[in-house]
Amino acid sequence: MQPSTSISESIQVLHVDDDPDLADLVATFLEREDERLSVEAVSTVADAIDRLDEADIDCVISDYEMPGRNGLEFLEAVRTDRPDLPFVLFTGKGSEEIASEAISAGVTDYLQKEMGVEQYSLLANRVVNAVERTRAEQAEQRQLRAIETAQEGISILDADGEFIYVNDAYADLYGYDRGEMLGAHWTLIYPDQDTESIRETILPTVRSNGFWRGETTGLRADGSTFVEDHRLATTDHGELVCTVLDTTEQRRQKLAIEELHSTARAFIQAETAESVAEIAVGAVRDILGMPANGFHRYDETDDRLVPLTWTDRTEELVGEPPVFESGEGIAWKAFAAGEPLVYDDIATNDTRYNPDTPIRSQLAIPLDDRGVHLIGSPEPAAFDETDVSLAKTVAAHATAALERVERERKLTRQNERLATFTDIVSHDLRNPLNVAIGRLELAQRACDCPHLADVDQALARTETLLDDLHAFARAGTATLDREPLDLATLCRGCWRHVETGAATLVTDSQQVIRADESRLQELLENLFSNAVEHGGDAVTITVGDLEDGFYIADDGTGIEDADRDAVFDYGYSTSQDGTGFGLSIVREIADGHGWDLRVTDSETGGARFEVHNVERSET
């Protein structure tokens, strides 16, 4: 009969007996009694000690009288290194004296050999019970060690609501020693105004459901309070297990991050490095609660960190922030390292810029290669992990904004140079072109030369190229003036300015979008002209709405799949008379608005140009 036990794993048993036949018999019966028992037999204590060093043994069964060392001497040797290993003394020599010595030496169980096979059932039961008890105690000890070292505060209350156990984390949360809390009632750690709610609402819920979780306000020994994530559960014995985590910092961090999200929009709209610095300094001061902070920008020309803006509190503490030359101070050290530096007390730091500074705590966060944000406090150890994390978030926004401002500044300069170049080229070429066109007209009147027609065509194409070049440059450089525009109305107006022949326009659009009117007109007119040019005079062009934009489709011949990636490239044209600027201008205008431009097939097999990410007007 298999004993009733919660053990499901195998049990490795070492049997020590100098009678090999008896040892083999014991092994056979034990393994027959319980299939989880696996018994290995040795005949001497020396062999047994060697096996304990080599194998994972769950229980030892040992005879008393054996050559060399007896069972009690073996037990004493085992207890030296393995105080918790189950040890059953199974001996034919029984006496009260031996039993007493065995108990004193720490034997787990004592069983005298009898006649008959019934004793093996009893021995198997004793072994299983001993292993089960030891494993349960070990599991309990592991759990207890886990509780003791847990970061969460854990306590146990008896049926009267008094603490019978608290771990260090729990006692530390409330500012008590563990000994002070043991035996105290739970009302010790909650404000008087909250105890009634706990008694009448929370505790009945725990008794009814066996569990409760929510937020409560903890009361520390010094009278301060904090918000705690509180979990309660009942045990089978009517005890109450409490788990508490201080969420004050998490709540502060969450609220700060939510406020920083609103600051992100201001960073996006900033147009200068000075504006970025002001936003960053204000966010650290007002949202993160760090009043002494300043923003230094890297001056690449002079290789130094120059202060852009700082708070009033900074000036009260250190005066106007200094310029840091290459290698000077903590600011430069953080900038050069590219990693945030946090100091609990810079008074002992030899790299500080001013030996007499009243600043004690220092947080220096680099902004990639664009500068450094300095945050200070006259108090030591003023910044915790949450402070550093939030300050790094502000720095990340500021760095991205500085990068965008710099990129836009370079782009503006490039666009200005491009516009100037285009205007000069257009102006300088148009005058001699007009002269050539006029002289050509006079030559055509004076003589009938067959070559003049080719000259006329070449000059006309040159004039078209100049017009398209100017339009292309303006599409990429012009400042946008967005306003609400009725798309259908604008399309009909553009249609009248395009040579459409017998082509048909269908406007299915019902939306009002925000765009620059003159730029959108150019985009529409170029797409209409492209459709007529490639689809013929009888083509039908349809303008319709998309969920996030609009489309212009025709029923012409369409665009080959292999050509779709190239149609917007400058100079691409399938027409002998085309300049290759038309769809490039369309792309530049779309990019300038922040729109996504795609080309695909229309329902009739023609071309369909889709414009996505278009802002709709609320008016």
What CATH number does residue 335 fall under? 3.30.450.40
In angstroms, the Cα distances linking 183 to 71, 157, 296 are 45, 9, 57
The answer to the question of residue 581 being in a domain is yes
Question: Which pLDDT score, from 0 to 100, does residue 366 have?
Answer: 96
Write out residues in the chain with pLDDT < 50, as ranges.
1-7, 150, 477, 571-572, 576, 578-580
CATH classification at residue 99: 3.40.50.2300
Residues 139 and 16 in one domain: yes
One domain, residues 132 and 202: no
Query: 382, 408, 434: which is the final residue of a domain?
Result: 408
Residue 306 lies in a domain: yes
CATH of the domain at 183: 3.30.450.20
287, 339: one domain: yes
What's the pLDDT score for residue 94?
63
Domain tally, the chain = 4
Range of 553's domain? 478-612
CB contact set of 307 (below 8 Å; sequence gap of 6+): 294, 295, 296, 320, 321, 322, 323
* 346 backbone dihedrals φ, ψ, rounded to 5°: -85, 0
Residue 400, in any domain of the structure: yes
Kind of pairing between the strands at 59-62 and 11-16: parallel
The answer on 219 and 327 residing in a single domain is no
| Boundary of a domain, candidates 408, 440, 467 | 408
Calculate the alpha carbon distances from 306 to 323, 371, 549 in Å.
5, 8, 45
Query: Is residue 17, in this structure, part of any structural domain at all?
Result: yes
Q: In this predicted model, what pLDDT tens digit does every residue of 211-247 receive, in sequence order?
A: 898 889 999 999 998 888 888 888 877 888 888 887 7
- Residue among 161, 128, 168 at smallest CA distance from 144: 168
- Using only the alpha carbons of the chain, give its radius of gyration: 44
Amino acid letter, 172:
D
- What is the model's pTM? 0.44
For residue 464, being part of any structural domain is answered with no
Structure confidence at residue 118 (pLDDT): 81
Structural domain contains residue 252 = no
Residue 387 domain flag:
yes
Flag whether 170 is in a domain: yes
The residue among 119, 146, 173 that closes a domain is 146
Q: Are residues 140 and 17 in the same domain?
A: yes
Q: What pLDDT does 375 receive?
A: 96
Output the pLDDT for position 579: 46
605 and 491, same structural domain? yes
Same domain for 556 and 509: yes
Neighbours of 243 (CB within 10 A): 19
Instruction: Give residue-wise pLDDT tens across range 288-301.
Output: 889 999 999 999 99
Which residues does 19 contact at the CB level (< 8 Å), separation at least 6? 43, 63
Q: How far apart are the first and last CA of the chain?
A: 86
* Co-location of 123 and 142 in the same domain: yes
Question: Do residues 234 and 301 share a domain?
Answer: no
Q: Which amino acid appears at position 440 of this protein?
A: L
* Domain CATH for 496: 3.30.565.10
- 376 φ, ψ (degrees, to nearest 5): -135, 170
Round to whole Å and give the CA distance between 373 and 574: 55
Query: pLDDT at position 578, please?
Result: 46
